[in-house]
Structure 1
Amino acid sequence: MSGIGMYILFLAPTLILGLAAQWWLKKTFATNAELGVQSGMTGEEVARRILDANGLHGVPVNPSPGGPLSDHYDPRSRGVFLSEPVFAGRSIAAAAVAAHEVGHAIQHDKAYAPMQIRSTMFPAVAFASSTWIFLLMAGAFMNALGLIQVAIALYAIAVLFHFVTLPVEFDASKRAQVQLAGLGLVSDSERTGTRRVLTAAAMTYVVGALAALSQLLYFVLAYLQD
């Protein structure tokens, strides 16, 4: 099989799954963004309510400088950042996403082990992610197996990071569901919508991890097999 054929064989399935996961997330978010929560609270208010209920009064909730779906928790500044549709939205989708990001803040406060491992790995992953492709191209151009091996090893670190991220994201969603229900921020009927939004978001991380693993396997077979 040609190199291009092997690459397509390894990457095409995960590419299709990735596109499907992104479509599902956008569709699920859009559907639930049109459904208002009975509490009438914005995503900012939901986040603030959960943070205060968990004693995290010093963690700010700020608008995210990015576009839609740029919501995140920054462990360096210890701040929750919400995109405009979530920050100001009064929908099931906004409540779900806001609660998920606060879930990361709670993880940080509780010293959740997978999150600590992820944070410890981040500097190495940042270096590996910005370096491996240049080493791989240089190694392939010069036919230098040593450079190729280093490049693939660096990429393997980035792949591992994807899989370490999975329990962090799943746990944040679990915490979000518990907080939303326990504090009465969503009704029983609205919990179905929040669960769907969080599940769709989680699937993008799963597919991303599988895609990274598939590419790693391709590189190993294409460059390192005898």
Structure 2
Amino acid sequence: MFFGTDPLYLLLVMPALALAAWAQARIVSAYREGSRVQASSGVSGAEAAAAIMRSGGVHNVTIEPIQGQLTDHYDPSKKVLRLSVSNYQDHSLAALGVAAHEAGHAIQDAHHYPLLVVRNLIVPLAALGSNASFLFLTAGLLLQSMKLVWAAIALFSLAVLFQIVNLPVEFDASRRAREQLQADNLITADEDAVVGKVLNAAAMTYVAGTLTGVLQLAYFVIRSGALRRGGDRSA
């Protein structure tokens, strides 16, 4: 019995997965609502991102449109801020909020925000851990190998560590975004409420993802203990 069919997995992890599904639905709803409200400043998402980066002392980052919905991200290795086409060209409060958030990451990078530095260092290890951990865990359980199971737990811990470090990075980027949007007169105080709703909904997706990762790790540790006790009894 394992993963989705294991009552322990259902008890520990499924509530977090349900929270993640709710958070995803909430960001879609908040983004759709914010997309209907045009910013009184009349600037586009790309223009807002450029203005915020200038105010933050960032002058070496280019802004590019990218296909997809909510595919917006900042690439620190190439110094490129990529905005989904709608957020790049739209003048809505949702577009400004998302663009400003990514500009916040560019400012973090320019000022060597410590947690962003740590996050960027962890990225390749976290990707490896996330992809390989389930293979190691499955093999360890099938072969009754504690070494493989603990290797899987160590690998997955890297992915969970990334999620934990990433949380304050994302919250800080949103804080910078909302403060600078108002400081640069790109939104009004009333419009900040709509922007805040979009960014807070986005933050919940990170919270839910982190909680899911932590609970999955706890599940793996508990199951490894059961496997070890089983091995001790059979010795």
**Identical counterparts, % of pairs:** 39
Q: Which amino acid aligns with 1:89?
A: D
Bigger mean CA deviation after superposition, 181-190 or 125-134: 125-134
Task: Report what 1:160 is aligned to.
Answer: 161
Tell me how far 1:204 sits from its aligned partner. Answer: 0.4
Task: Give the secondary structure class of the aligned counterpart of 2:64.
Answer: strand
Task: Give the secondary structure class of the aligned counterpart of 2:13.
Answer: helix
Tell me how far 1:174 sits from its aligned partner. Answer: 0.5
- Is the 1:42–1:94 contact (alpha carbons within 8 Å) kept by the matching residues of 2? yes
Task: Report what 2:58 is aligned to.
Answer: 56
Which entry has the higher C-alpha Rg, 1 or 2? 2
Tell me how far 1:100 sits from its aligned partner. Answer: 0.2
Tell me how far 1:145 sits from its aligned partner. Answer: 1.1
Q: Write out aligned runs for 1:141-156 (5 A).
A: 141-156=142-157
Tell me how far 1:141 sits from its aligned partner. Answer: 1.6
Deviations 1:18-42 (A, max 9, x none): 1110011000000010000011111
Whole-angstrom CA distance in 1 between matches of 2:156 and 2:26: 28
Task: Report what 2:139 is aligned to.
Answer: 138
Deviations 1:1-31 (A, max 9, x none): 9961111111111111111100110000000
Structural RMSD (CA): 1.4
Which of 22, 25, 28 is 1:23 aligned to? Answer: 25
Bigger mean CA deviation after superposition, 55-64 or 147-156: 55-64
Whole-angstrom CA distance in 2 between matches of 1:44 and 1:96: 11
Task: Report what 2:197 is aligned to.
Answer: 196
- Is the 1:149–1:224 contact (alpha carbons within 8 Å) kept by the matching residues of 2? no
Tell me how far 1:56 sits from its aligned partner. Answer: 1.7
- Is the 1:43–1:89 contact (alpha carbons within 8 Å) kept by the matching residues of 2? yes
Where structure 1 has 5 or more consecutive residues not aligned to the other structure, the ranges are none
Task: Report what 1:74 is aligned to.
Answer: 75
- Is the 2:97–2:177 contact (alpha carbons within 8 Å) kept by the matching residues of 1? yes
Q: Which amino acid aligns with 1:96?
A: G
Task: Give the secondary structure class of the aligned counterpart of 1:80.
Answer: strand
- Is the 1:36–1:91 contact (alpha carbons within 8 Å) kept by the matching residues of 2? yes
Whole-angstrom CA distance in 2 between matches of 1:131 and 1:12: 22
Q: TM (normalized to structure 1)?
A: 0.96
Tell me how far 1:114 sits from its aligned partner. Answer: 0.4
Task: Report what 2:209 is aligned to.
Answer: 208
Q: Which amino acid aligns with 1:19?
A: A
Q: Which amino acid aligns with 1:63?
A: P
Q: Which amino acid aligns with 1:102?
A: A
- Is the 2:119–2:166 contact (alpha carbons within 8 Å) kept by the matching residues of 1? yes
Task: Report what 1:108 is aligned to.
Answer: 109
Whole-angstrom CA distance in 2 between matches of 1:179 and 1:64: 24
Q: TM (normalized to structure 2)?
A: 0.92
- Is the 2:30–2:197 contact (alpha carbons within 8 Å) kept by the matching residues of 1? yes
- Is the 1:59–1:80 contact (alpha carbons within 8 Å) kept by the matching residues of 2? yes
Tell me how far 1:223 sits from its aligned partner. Answer: 1.9
Whole-angstrom CA distance in 2 between matches of 1:199 and 1:212: 20
Whole-angstrom CA distance in 1 between matches of 2:55 and 2:27: 29
Whole-angstrom CA distance in 2 between matches of 1:53 and 1:178: 11
Deviations 1:121-143 (A, max 9, x none): 11221221221111111111211
- Is the 2:57–2:107 contact (alpha carbons within 8 Å) kept by the matching residues of 1? no
Q: Which amino acid aligns with 1:204?
A: T
- Is the 2:44–2:91 contact (alpha carbons within 8 Å) kept by the matching residues of 1? yes
Tell me how far 1:53 sits from its aligned partner. Answer: 2.2
